[in-house]
Structure 1
Amino acid sequence: MESLLGEISRSHFPNAPATPAQLAAFEARVGWRLDPDLRAFYLHCDGATLFRPRPDADYRILSLAEIQRARIELRGQDDDSKGSASWYTLLYLQDSDYVLVDVARQQDGRYPLLDAWHETYPLEVRRIAASFGEFLERALSSGNQFFWLKE
């Protein structure tokens, strides 16, 4: 993660770091703990855009304050018919599309990331990375393309 975070600082558009108190408040609000990759990212920067600044960025990693349950953000209701309660927004990709983190599943202590295309959510949500670190590595080397759409 350290080299990826250094690249974000050198070549992209990071926000100021979150404080440990902000991380604790976030975890209390959502009811789950950040995994090691997400914790390192948010202590480095509380959100960022990759490749281009706002408002034109295709990759916008949300700040802690912006992360919320996906079914509320995408469907406006906190109801099981609108998606899993364990899916939270993590990146905004323009046009109401998001990358989600699934906090109910972990592999090696890290949460997987999911593609949530607004037109098919929640019926078609697919895993695109095993962790935020993997996602970030692939995104940073993508040349500002959504790497999972080429698979």
Structure 2
Amino acid sequence: MSMARLLAEVSARHFPNPPATPAQVATFEARVGWKLDADLCAFYLHCDGAALFDAPPEMNYRILPLDRIERARAAIRGSEEDKDGSPSHYTLVDMQDTNFVILDVASREHGRYPLLDAFHETYPEEAPRIAASFEEFLAKALRSGNRAFWLAD
């Protein structure tokens, strides 16, 4: 499914925030030191974060607004030390209870960042890949019935 269709579905059936402006995207990129890939840029210019399935604060999937994206080790471990996680891991989706879907901005493939599962009890020792891109992640999330699609039943 194309990003345009996915974004239309987010708008029609979920709880998107108002769009980020190009200036907000530029400020974010300057703050973090990396650029959004095409999927993420399209998403944030469409909506600066979103709750999927349920309205806040009840949602399981909360795609963070730009100003809430931070290094995963800071969000999960409250630390900026390398032992607490890679400096290239950034939060993207809050799954509640300090569990996140994160981006690995050092592992860009085909112009896109892979997404990883960051379970607070096993991160950083374990952070399995769950999607090769945000587009893949969003498509699977929207078909998940509000469940973490990458976890066993």
Smaller-chain TM-score bracket: over 0.9
> In the alignment, what sits opposite 1:21?
23
Letter in 2 for 1:61: I
1:76 matched to 2:74? The reply is no
| Alpha-carbon offset, residue 107 of structure 1 | 1.3
Looking at structure 2, the residues matched to 77 and 10 of structure 1 have their Cα atoms a distance apart, in angstroms, of: 38
Q: 1:59 aligns with which of 56, 61, 69?
A: 61
Q: Which runs of no fewer than 5 residues in structure 1 stay unpaired?
A: none
Give the TM-score normalised by structure 2: 0.97
Contact 2:75 2:98 in 1 (8 A): no
Q: 1:147 aligns with which of 137, 145, 149?
A: 149
Letter in 2 for 1:123: E
Q: Which runs of no fewer than 5 residues in structure 2 stay unpaired?
A: none
Q: 1:92 aligns with which of 91, 94, 100?
A: 94
Letter in 1 for 2:144: S
> In the alignment, what sits opposite 1:107?
109
* Secondary structure of residue in 2 paired with 1:74: helix
Q: 1:135 aligns with which of 134, 137, 141?
A: 137
Give the TM-score normalised by structure 1: 0.98
Q: How many residues align?
A: 151
| Alpha-carbon offset, residue 150 of structure 1 | 2.7
* Secondary structure of residue in 1 paired with 2:45: helix
Looking at structure 1, the residues matched to 78 and 95 of structure 2 have their Cα atoms a distance apart, in angstroms, of: 18
Q: Which runs of 4+ in 1 moved over 2 A?
A: none
Looking at structure 2, the residues matched to 61 and 7 of structure 1 have their Cα atoms a distance apart, in angstroms, of: 15
Cα RMSD between the aligned structures?
Answer: 0.8
Q: 2:11 aligns with which of 9, 12, 16?
A: 9
| Alpha-carbon offset, residue 95 of structure 1 | 1.2
